[in-house]
C-alpha cells in the first residue's frame, strides 16, 4: 500500500522550518567567529539560501543576530554549570565557572554583549534580550541555591541580586576585553578575583568543600 501523501501545506511548513534552521545554524557559526559584522550574503552562501529568506524568516539580520546571541549565551551558561559541577571547593567552583565563560565560551558571551548594545538602537529587539536575561538569572539563582544547600554558605544579599551581580561582572569583563583586545589586563585568576569581590565571597569560604 502506497504511503499517504503529505499535504502540501504541511510539506511547505516543514520546508520552511528546515530553511529557518539552516539559516540559524549558518549564522551561529559565522557570528560566533566574526561578530555582528557578517553580511547577509555570507550567511546565505553558507546556508545555500537567498537574502530575502533572512527577511522572511527573521525580519532582519539584526533580529537573526540577537536570536543567535540569546541562544548562544544560554548554551554557554548551561555549559559553564556543567564544567563547574565537579568542583571540590567554592573557590574551585567559581574558578571553573568563570574560566568556562571567559575561555571556551567567550565568543558566545561577546556576541550577547554586542546584542545588548544593539537593542539600544533597536527597541523592538529588547524583549528577546530581557527574556534571555531573566532565564540566565533564574538559572544562576538555581545553581547558587544548590551551592548554598550543599555548603551552608551565607549570602550577604538576596539570591536574585547575587545572580544578577555575577552576570553583570562577567559582561563587564567581556566589555573590557572586547574594547581593549590584546591589551586586556586580566588573567583568569584576576577575573575570578573580580567575581569574588563582586559576590563578596569571604576568603574563609573559598576553601570550603562543595560536598
CA distance linking residue 151 with residue 131, whole number of Å: 30
Question: Which residue ranges form the domains of the chain, and what is each CATH number?
Answer: 1-59 (1.10.10), 69-206 (1.10.357.10)
Q: Give pLDDT, residue 10.
A: 61
Q: What is the pLDDT of residue 12?
A: 64
Over the chain (211 residues), the average pLDDT of each successive run of 10 is: 58 77 97 95 95 94 96 96 87 88 92 92 89 94 78 76 89 83 68 79 71 67
- The reported pLDDT for the residue numbered 88 is 85
With beta carbons less than 8 A apart as the criterion, state whether 43 and 54 touch. Answer: yes
Q: Phi/psi class of residue 5: alpha, beta or left (left: φ > 0; alpha: ψ in -120 to 50)?
A: beta
Alpha carbons 197 and 64: distance in angstroms, whole number: 36
Q: What is the full DSSP assignment across 97-144?
A: HHHHHHTTTHHHHHHHHHHHHHTTT-GGGHHHHHHHHHHHHHHHHHHH
Q: So what's the pLDDT on residue 186?
A: 67
Instruction: Quickly count helices (H) and strands (E) in the chain.
Output: 10, 0
pLDDT at 4: 60
Amino acid at each position: 500500500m502506497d504511503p499517504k501523501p503529505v499535504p502540501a501545506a504541511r510539506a511547505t511548513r516543514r520546508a520552511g522550518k528546515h530553511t529557518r534552521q539552516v539559516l540559524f545554524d549558518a549564522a551561529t557559526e559565522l557570528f560566533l567567529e566574526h561578530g555582528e559584522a557578517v553580511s547577509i550574503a555570507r550567511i546565505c552562501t553558507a546556508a545555500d539560501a537567498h537574502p530575502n529568506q533572512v527577511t522572511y524568516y527573521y525580519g532582519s539580520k539584526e533580529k537573526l543576530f540577537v536570536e543567535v546571541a540569546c541562544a548562544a549565551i544560554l548554551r554557554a551558561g548551561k555549559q559553564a554549570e556543567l564544567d563547574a559541577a565537579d568542583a571540590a571547593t567554592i573557590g574551585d567552583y567559581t574558578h571553573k565557572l568563570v574560566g568556562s565563560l571567559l575561555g571556551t565560551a567567550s565568543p558566545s558571551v561577546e556576541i550577547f554583549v554586542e546584542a545588548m548594545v544593539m537593542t539600544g538602537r533597536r527597541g523592538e529587539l529588547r524583549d528577546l534580550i530581557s527574556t534571555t536575561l531573566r532565564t540566565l538569572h533564574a538559572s544562576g539563582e538555581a545553581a547558587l541555591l544548590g551551592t548554598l544547600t550543599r555548603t551552608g554558605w551565607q549570602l550577604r544579599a538576596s539570591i536574585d541580586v547575587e545572580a544578577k551581580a555575577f552576570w553583570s561582572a562577567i559582561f563587564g569583563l567581556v566589555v573590557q576585553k572586547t574594547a581593549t583586545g590584546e591589551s586586556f589586563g586580566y588573567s583568569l585568576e584576576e577575573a575570578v578575583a573580580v567575581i569574588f569581590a563582586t559576590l563578596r565571597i569571604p576568603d574563609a569560604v573559598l576553601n570550603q568543600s562543595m560536598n
